[in-house]
């Protein structure tokens, strides 16, 4: 709502998402149009809570994340999002005022807090930009397609956090990106799925996603095969397994796609390595845990941290396997949801 000093304010809370079939490679870097479709689940307990104030008058945009000011000159994506938001606002004013063009300048103030560590590299930009886009959608009364685009030009994977559950980001065919949108699949959410996140930060400087995607696109031959032959089929398999609640089929595709994403990174010149020794140890633990029946699925993004998807009934069993196989700090068990904390480990 807008008060008499010309400030409007909105607060939203938005979840992070984890890709089950990965996005890697852009066909348009400016509009952030991907080379392939991707599909993700939102992790509803990990959120970015964001307040945006739209202030009348000339001034600098400001962004603060977890009490730290973001240097906007070194992160152009915020400026891109704010410019696009103000363009949409001007366009709407012109449409309703019959081209009167009596434009009033505005600037934004963003204050965001995440309930998970940004430094852990857990796709925090996705939740952050999705929150900004959702808040601006409410401030400016944008439609869902406009809001989706706003999230996407902030960070590609952010458009998959604009709705909950299983979300399919379609690459689209058009050059202007008008058919490049993330849509929630029709099915009811599979509320029984849990995500165990293991943070294996090793201080190694990783290749940023944008740069990595560019190198891969320019040099990998495996990427071409992946985009044409592998991804479309896997998107269908994920949707089918999710709709029929077939955990084993879902898990097989999730792990295969994480592995192929990292293979594509290795197929890049120079090669990109995101997984470390701990990541591989976790893969082996999951492989062992999955005998004789698949009960867990690991997936890794552009870093060594693991996200393991398990059904609720198997969470404690899986945590026990972790305690047995890898040295985990038992203090960390406190981050488990209430219902799993009382179980004897």
Q: Which listed residue (19, 46, 223, 237) binds ligand 2P0 by CB under 6 A?
A: 19
- Residue 108 CB, shortest distance to ligand 2P0, in Å, is 19
Instruction: Read off the DSSP letter of residue 2.
Output: B
Alpha helices in 220-276 (DSSP H): 222-225, 231-243, 247-266
Which of positions 224-283 make contact with ligand 2P0 (CB under 6 A)? none
- Please say which residue, 129 or 289, places its beta carbon nearer to ligand 2P0: 129
Q: In which residue are the tokens 């809570």 written?
A: 49
* Nearest-angstrom CA–CA distance, 298 and 201: 17
* Nearest-angstrom CA–CA distance, 248 and 264: 24
Q: Is 20 among the residues that bind ligand 2P0 (CB under 6 A)?
A: no
Q: In which residue are the tokens 């900004």 written?
A: 132
Segment interacting with ligand 2P0 (CB under 6 A) among 3-11, 66-74, 114-122, 152-160 = 152-160
Q: Which listed residue (125, 220, 268, 279) binds ligand 2P0 by CB under 6 A?
A: 125
Coil, strand or helix: which one is 133?
helix
Q: Is 153 among the residues that bind ligand 2P0 (CB under 6 A)?
A: no
Interface pattern 274-313 for ligand 2P0 (x via CB under 6 A): ---------------------------xx-----------
* Nearest-angstrom CA–CA distance, 178 and 7: 31
The answer to whether the peptide bond before residue 270 is cis (omega within 30 degrees of 0) is yes
Interface pattern 29-48 for ligand 2P0 (x via CB under 6 A): ---x-----x----------
CA 328-330-332 angle, 5° bins: 85
* Nearest-angstrom CA–CA distance, 249 and 237: 8
Task: With CB under 6 A as the rule, give the number of residues binding ligand 2P0.
Answer: 14
CA 80-85-86 angle, 5° bins: 100
* Nearest-angstrom CA–CA distance, 323 and 72: 42
- Please say which residue, 214 or 225, places its beta carbon nearer to ligand 2P0: 214
Q: Which listed residue (79, 115, 210, 335) binds ligand 2P0 by CB under 6 A?
A: 210
Q: Is 156 among the residues that bind ligand 2P0 (CB under 6 A)?
A: yes
- Residue 121 CB, shortest distance to ligand 2P0, in Å, is 10
Q: Write out the residues near ligand 2P0 by the rule CB under 6 A.
A: 19, 22-24, 32, 38, 125, 155-157, 209-210, 301-302
């Amino acid at each position: 709502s807008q008060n008499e000093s010309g400030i409007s304010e909105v607060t939203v809370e938005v979840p992070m998402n984890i890709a089950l079939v990965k996005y890697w490679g852009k066909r348009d870097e400016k509009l952030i149009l991907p080379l392939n479709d991707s599909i993700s689940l939102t992790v509803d307990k990990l959120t970015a809570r964001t307040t945006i104030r739209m202030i009348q008058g000339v001034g600098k945009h400001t962004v603060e994340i977890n009490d730290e000011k973001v240097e906007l000159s070194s992160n152009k994506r915020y400026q891109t999002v704010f410019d696009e938001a103000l363009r949409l606002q001007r366009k709407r004013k012109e449409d309703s005022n019959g081209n009167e063009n009596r434009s009033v300048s505005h600037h934004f103030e963003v204050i965001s807090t995440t309930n998970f560590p940004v430094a852990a590299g857990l796709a925090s930009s996705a939740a952050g930009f999705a929150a900004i886009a959702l808040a601006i959608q409410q401030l400016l009364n944008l439609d869902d397609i406009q809001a989706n685009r706003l999230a996407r030009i902030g960070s590609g994977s952010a458009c998959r956090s604009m709705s909950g559950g299983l979300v399919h980001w379609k690459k689209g065919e058009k050059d202007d990106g008008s058919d490049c949108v993330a849509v929630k699949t029709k099915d009811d959410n599979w509320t029984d799925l849990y995500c165990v996140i293991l943070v294996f930060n090793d201080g190694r400087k990783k290749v940023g996603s944008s740069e990595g995607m560019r190198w891969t696109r320019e040099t990998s031959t495996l990427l071409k095969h992946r985009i044409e032959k592998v991804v479309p089929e896997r998107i269908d398999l994920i949707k089918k397994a999710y709709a029929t609640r077939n955990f084993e089929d879902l898990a097989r595709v999730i792990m295969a796609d994480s592995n192929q994403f990292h293979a594509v990174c290795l197929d890049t010149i120079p090669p990109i390595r995101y997984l470390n020794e701990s990541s591989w140890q976790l893969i082996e633990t999951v492989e062992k845990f999955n005998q004789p029946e698949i009960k867990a699925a690991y997936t890794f993004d552009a870093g060594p941290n693991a996200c393991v998807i398990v059904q609720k009934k198997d969470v404690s069993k899986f945590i026990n396997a972790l305690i047995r196989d890898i040295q985990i700090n038992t203090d960390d068990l406190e981050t488990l949801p209430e219902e799993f904390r009382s179980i004897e480990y």
